Amino acid sequence: MYGEEKNHCCGSGQEMTQGIIADPQKDEERRRKMSKAKNGENPRMLGRHHSEESRKKMSEALKGKPISEESRRKRSEAQKGRKSPMLGRHLSEETRKKMSEARKGKVRSEETRKRMSEARKRKPLSEESRKKMSEALKGKVRSEETRKKMSEAQKGRKSPMLGRHLSEETRKKMSAARKGKPRSEETRKKISVARKGKPLSEETRKKISEAKRGKRRPMSVRHLSEETRKKISAAQTGAQISEEIKREMQAARQLYLMHRFQQKLREAIFGKKRAEMYVRPASTPDVVVNLS
């Protein structure tokens, strides 16, 4: 039933087998020979390249054939300890474009995304790689459609920084990188809209309060421009103010009036020039002057 047909080549003494090899032992031997030929000192494809037609045929033949878990493990074990064939080599710009075009429109499954995520977690990026990625992304403006897609993809996912805290060194680097970069009016509006309706937690309020302690109020000497006053007035028109905020505003107003009174009093006693040089530390009590 599993007979093999053998033809003798003209006087060469070589035998050519036709049909399917049914014997598992012979099949295994054939696999070993093929593997040895591929992994030897002079592989058959060394210096040779498949034609475009051959590549297409191979691609079509492999499409739709899922690789079993066992095969994946075997391939992984076989590749361990080998150097990457791309070590020290770089893809040309033409090759990169071809790869990019071939990948466009292909949606990765959720399982594939998870595997890629797990594989990347174990491989921290070097400083050089981070710089290259940063340089490649500079000056690229994402379209509104791309922003929406990214937003939809992130919805429902937990933040990668959940439960983690930035080190003091990282905070300083981020602060130094942002200094001197003014935000556009459009960016300010987007930030304002994103923050609306998000109440600050008690812990966040305490942190903000602690950070501001000992610092002079930014508006203690400066005055608001007419344009800024109009914007604030327009933003507050029709806004519903809670009783708690009303009380806070009233207390802030009283504190402001008290500071103004003390400033006027210092000017009357010490003179305007000396009064401007006087800066009361946040931790010291107010100066009480006995006029009697």
Domain boundaries, the chain: 248-283
Comparing 63 with 43, which gets the higher pLDDT? 63
Distance between CA atoms of 274 and 267, rounded to whole angstroms? 8
Distance of CA 221 to the CA centre of its chain: 40
Q: What is the pLDDT of residue 15?
A: 43
Distance between CA atoms of 279 and 214, rounded to whole angstroms? 12
Give the pair of three-digit tokens for residue 60.
């079509």
Distance between CA atoms of 50 and 56, rounded to whole angstroms? 10
Q: Band the pLDDT of 190: cuts 50, 70, 90.
A: confident
Q: What is the pLDDT of residue 3?
A: 44
pLDDT in tens, 232-283: 777 777 666 778 877 888 888 888 888 888 888 878 877 776 666 555 544 4
pLDDT in tens, 17-57: 444 555 777 778 887 777 776 665 566 667 778 888 998 89
Q: Which of 284, 266, 290 is nearest to 276 (CA)?
A: 266
Buried b (16+ CB within 10 A) or exposed e, 110-145: eeeeeeeeeeeeeeeeeeeeeeeeeeeeeeeeeeee
Q: What is the pLDDT of residue 285?
A: 45
Quote the pTM value.
Answer: 0.28
Give the pair of three-digit tokens for residue 252.
């802030």
73 pLDDT higher than 50:
yes
Q: What percent of the chain has pLDDT over 70?
A: 77
Distance between CA atoms of 228 and 233, rounded to whole angstroms? 9
